[in-house]
Amino acid sequence: MSELTASVAQLIECLTRLPGIGRKSAERIAYHLLRVSKEEAFALADAIRAVKENVHHCKICFNLSEQETCHICRDATRDQTLLCVVEQPQDLMAIEQTGAYHGLYHVLLGRLAPLDGVGPEQLTIRELVERVRNGTFREVIMATNPTVEGDGTALFISNQLADTGVKLTRLARGITPGSVIQFANKEILTDALTGRQVL
């Protein structure tokens, strides 16, 4: 569009690459940034730079951290015998927010997706197996997403850990609080029936 100045066009182009940002949203954000003070716009630019420069993966569990190891791995009060395996740091955060878990984590940084060319070597599975073999864990909780790929990843890891003698569990599945049974799909109801609990 010839009407846009080069800088604005370039900014809109960069913004549309962000997840959930279409052309119209990118334009709205660009004009917002044009309107706000230099300080506010630069704060965002600097925050983006800072994140890429400061944030790395914890060398033990691969959670995000600005130090060598993350605050969870450094926390000696956490249950060192429980390990929860998640796909992404966001999953770890969601579980942390429940306050219901006080063990350690292992972040895979993805899930097995052969069709997308993601094999075990692209994830942190080797490090996980080593950690479990050399560690003092009594239970490993598979908290990968309840999708075909997440389940496949959990199964693959279970096989790798089968001979360690560590107890392997996965997150419970069933109907969700607030949901309506008549609208639950086949898979949800099958999970709920198969895993039915004694009252």
| Burial class of residue 19, CB neighbours in 10 A (0-12, 13-18, 19+) | exposed
Q: How far is the CB of 35 from a copy of itself (least distance, A)?
A: 9
Q: How far is the CB of 142 from a copy of itself (least distance, A)?
A: 20
CA distance 129 to 63: 17
Q: Which is nearer to a copy of itself, 22 or 195 (CB)?
A: 22
Q: Which is nearer to a copy of itself, 65 or 153 (CB)?
A: 65
Residue 146 is encoded by which pair of tokens? 């309840």
Query: Contact positions toward a copy of itself, by CB under 8 A?
Result: 1-8, 10-11, 13-15, 17-21, 25, 27-34, 38, 40-52, 54-55, 64-66, 71, 88-90, 92-93, 96-97
Q: How far is the CB of 174 from a copy of itself (least distance, A)?
A: 25
Q: Which is nearer to a copy of itself, 111 or 161 (CB)?
A: 111
Q: Are 40 and 29 in contact (CB under 8 A)?
A: no
Q: Which is nearer to a copy of itself, 90 or 190 (CB)?
A: 90
Q: What element of type H or E holds 167?
A: strand 167-170
> How many C-beta atoms lie closer than 10 Å to residue 104's C-beta?
22
